[in-house]
Amino acid sequence: MTVPLIELRNICRRYAAGSVSVAALKDVDLVIQPGEFVAVMGPSGSGKSTLMNIIGCLDRPSDGEYYFRGEAVHRADADELARLRREVFGFVFQSYNLLGMATARENVEVPAIYAGIPRRARASRATSLLEDLGLSHRLGHQPGELSGGEQQRVAIARALMNGGRVVLADEPTGSLDSASGREIIAQLEALSNQGHTIILVTHDPNVAAHAHRRIELLDGHVVADDGPGLPSKDAASVSTEADPRNTATRAPVSSFRDSVRTAMRALRTNRLRTSLTLLGIIIGVLSVTAMLGLAEGVQRGIMDSFRLLGGASLQIQPNFDQNGPGTTLTIADADAIRDEVANVISVTPQMSGGARILAGGTTQFARFTATTAESMDSGPWTLAEGVYFTASQDRNHEPVVVLGGILAGALFGEEGNAVGEHILLNGSPFQVIGVLKRPEDTFAGYQYNAYGFFVPLRTGAIRLLNKESLDTVGVLVAETHQVAAAQRAIDALLVRRHGQRDFQIQNQEAALEAQNNVSNILRMLFGAIGGISLVVAGIGVMNIMLATVAERTREIGLRMAIGARRRDILFQFICEAVVVAGLGGVIGLGLALVVGEAVNMIGATVMAFTAPILLIGLSCATLTGLFFGLAPARRAAGMDPVAALAAQ
């Protein structure tokens, strides 16, 4: 004896209704052979739909055993049930349950998407199925443009898409006029003649008369069964083997492309809502990227001024121990550094001190710097009048002086002509040979002490300070990356010359590092500010997705009924959230670039967008979609198919 197609043993289905439980099916035993055409009858509430849902693997029995071709369905997991729904069963509902925004052909294709059938193959199969059902002129129509009878024929085509070996039709004519109803019954009869197993729920005895076998339910019991009906003579023509096109191995998560298409369609359906969600994401991404761009721009600005202040410079100072100045750092040391150390652009030996100035009958006190002619030439100041001192004046320690702009004004009046005048510095006569411009703006104000004056290095050493030791030697190195090597070379040179390390060399590394820390804090702070708006946008996405899932509960139930696994549904809704977030991300990035360009046109680089920033912006958007889309998608995927199908 062959294995029956469907075998139910002692099937019970109980629903919890408050504290009591309602039994919709009680100890149902039923065997259905391949190719049978069974009509299930019975009054409303007798358990017909429950029976269909259990046979179709949409629902599980509370008790009892269900074997499909010997396979223990009552022990199968959710994916296994989804596979059976996808490969074996085709549902036809009273209310058609077509996707409203999809065309007839696209509706028919959906089961094949979940079966992983390639696009072209499923399109041609859907087309030929619809043609067979007399709908060749309706392929591109949406359900709203079709009559009830036409919609139900689309639903039949959909049931057949993956083979439809067992067609489960639950009151398929219940919503149709009698002519359309007769047409549908004729179609089912034709399918039965082709060998499909048909299980049809109906109230109409005339309809039931078309079936080979009638089963009657009452209060969850099978009360009448006129026995196994004779399978039609062509029963063998529909194989009871799985359709070779959709074996279990060929059911990947519905392809990314199909999911994106579905997502786009869903998003187009409610344009206003989509636009508002998009707007939220756009603002979020705009603020994240703009903030990061701003942080980057500020960082660059700081680095630029830093470089101006001597990013690649070293400062050498003698050690001072508790007993006063240690061994001296001399002019000869500075010359040696200039001559022997590689990549050195300039060497600036300096002494400084204070001096009493007597000029034009007034006495003043001012600080001065004694340095080389070369350093004087290359300093960050400009001459208002006169000249700088020369190297030969330095060598000969001539008593010449260049006055800072404010000091010159104080000594000789704002309009006074200082150049050529003689003044007394600590009692020795000096000639004023140049006056520097006053620093114009606050930034330049740091560049030199306009209240002081400059004298040649040796002049200052001998005539004003009476010492040989330099206070500092500044060394400018060509490139930042050469600083460390230069520092080592100078250290070795001076240790050799002095016989000990009686000096210290400072570089800007510590300052650079501090600057980097500040920049990182800035980046995080700004990023967080931008991130907050992205979180708000994400909450918006979640809100909308929850609403979408609630609205499309029936669609979710339907997709499950035609074979979608939980992860297909999960993937679909995550996809929707990610698509909307990604789209918003791209637009937001574009806007950020435009805004950045506009802001930068006003002045210096205020916003700087690097590739990583743009990448961060886009990933933030996508991740927001993923993160906030997950909970709604899980809610969708966790739905019970029967309950979802029953939703309004």
| Interface ranges with ligand ADP (CB under 6 A) | 15, 17, 22, 24, 42, 44-50
| 447-469 residues labelled b (16+ CB within 10 A) or e (exposed) | ebbbebbbbbbbbbbebbbeeeb
Query: Of 265, 279, 272, which is closest to residue 584 (Cα–Cα)?
Result: 279
148-160 vs 178-193: helix crossing angle, rounded to 10: 20
Q: Please identify, using beta-carbon distances, which residue of 22 and 547 lies nearer to ligand ADP.
A: 22
The CA distance from 636 to 634, in Å, is: 5
Q: Please identify, using beta-carbon distances, which residue of 68 and 93 lies nearer to ligand ADP.
A: 93
- Report the residue closest to Mg ion, judged by CB: 49
Task: Tell me the closest approach of the beta carbon of residue 647 to Mg ion, in angstroms.
Answer: 15
Task: Tell me the closest approach of the beta carbon of residue 174 to Mg ion, in angstroms.
Answer: 9
**Residue 320 site contact among ligand ADP, Mg ion, none (CB < 5 to 8 Å, cut-off depends on kind):** none
CA distances to 138, 139, 149, 594 from 134, rounded to whole Å, are: 9, 10, 11, 55
Q: Please identify, using beta-carbon distances, which residue of 337 and 645 lies nearer to ligand ADP.
A: 645
The 3-state DSSP class for residue 248 equals coil
The CA distance from 431 to 634, in Å, is: 88
The residue behind tokens 């591109």 is 140
Q: Please identify, using beta-carbon distances, which residue of 168 and 185 lies nearer to Mg ion.
A: 168
Q: Please identify, using beta-carbon distances, which residue of 185 and 359 lies nearer to Mg ion.
A: 185
Task: Tell me the closest approach of the beta carbon of residue 195 to ligand ADP, in angstroms.
Answer: 27
CB 314, CB 475: distance < 8 Å: yes
Q: Please identify, using beta-carbon distances, which residue of 11 and 578 lies nearer to Mg ion.
A: 11
Q: Please identify, using beta-carbon distances, which residue of 58 and 283 lies nearer to Mg ion.
A: 58
CA distances to 403, 431, 553 from 450, rounded to whole Å, are: 8, 18, 79
- Single-letter amino acid, residue 361: G
Which stretches within 270-420 are classed as H helix?
A: 271-308, 331-340, 373-378, 391-395, 405-412
Task: Tell me the closest approach of the beta carbon of residue 48 to Mg ion, in angstroms.
Answer: 5
**Residue 22 site contact among ligand ADP, Mg ion, none (CB < 5 to 8 Å, cut-off depends on kind):** ligand ADP
Indicate the pairing of strand 344-359 with strand 63-68.
Answer: unpaired
Q: Please identify, using beta-carbon distances, which residue of 50 and 330 lies nearer to ligand ADP.
A: 50
Task: Tell me the closest approach of the beta carbon of residue 22 to ligand ADP, in angstroms.
Answer: 5
Task: Tell me the closest approach of the beta carbon of residue 91 to Mg ion, in angstroms.
Answer: 13
The radius of gyration of the chain's CA atoms, rounded to the nearest angstrom, is 45
138 φ/ψ sector (left φ>0, alpha ψ -120 to 50, else beta): alpha
Task: Tell me the closest approach of the beta carbon of residue 636 to ligand ADP, in angstroms.
Answer: 19
Task: Tell me the closest approach of the beta carbon of residue 21 to ligand ADP, in angstroms.
Answer: 9
CA distances to 236, 535, 637 from 539, rounded to whole Å, are: 56, 6, 20
Interaction site with Mg ion (CB under 5 A): 49
**Residue 45 site contact among ligand ADP, Mg ion, none (CB < 5 to 8 Å, cut-off depends on kind):** ligand ADP
Indicate the pairing of strand 37-41 with strand 197-201.
Answer: parallel
Return the C-alpha torsion angle 218, 221, 223, 225, nearest 10: 120
**Residue 50 site contact among ligand ADP, Mg ion, none (CB < 5 to 8 Å, cut-off depends on kind):** ligand ADP
Q: Please identify, using beta-carbon distances, which residue of 12 and 253 lies nearer to ligand ADP.
A: 12
> How does DSSP classify residue 241?
S
Task: Tell me the closest approach of the beta carbon of residue 593 to ligand ADP, in angstroms.
Answer: 54
Task: Tell me the closest approach of the beta carbon of residue 202 to ligand ADP, in angstroms.
Answer: 11
Task: Tell me the closest approach of the beta carbon of residue 105 to ligand ADP, in angstroms.
Answer: 31
What does the DSSP assignment read for 314-345? EEEEE-EETTEE-SPP-HHHHHHHHHHSTTEE
Q: Please identify, using beta-carbon distances, which residue of 93 and 453 lies nearer to Mg ion.
A: 93
- Single-letter amino acid, residue 515: Q
The CA distance from 503 to 499, in Å, is: 11
Task: Tell me the closest approach of the beta carbon of residue 551 to Mg ion, in angstroms.
Answer: 24
The 3-state DSSP class for residue 137 equals helix
Q: Please identify, using beta-carbon distances, which residue of 49 and 487 lies nearer to ligand ADP.
A: 49
Q: Please identify, using beta-carbon distances, which residue of 17 and 604 lies nearer to ligand ADP.
A: 17
Token digits of residue 103: 């065309």
Phi first, then psi: what are they for 182, rounded to 5°? -60, -40
Token digits of residue 10: 């002692």
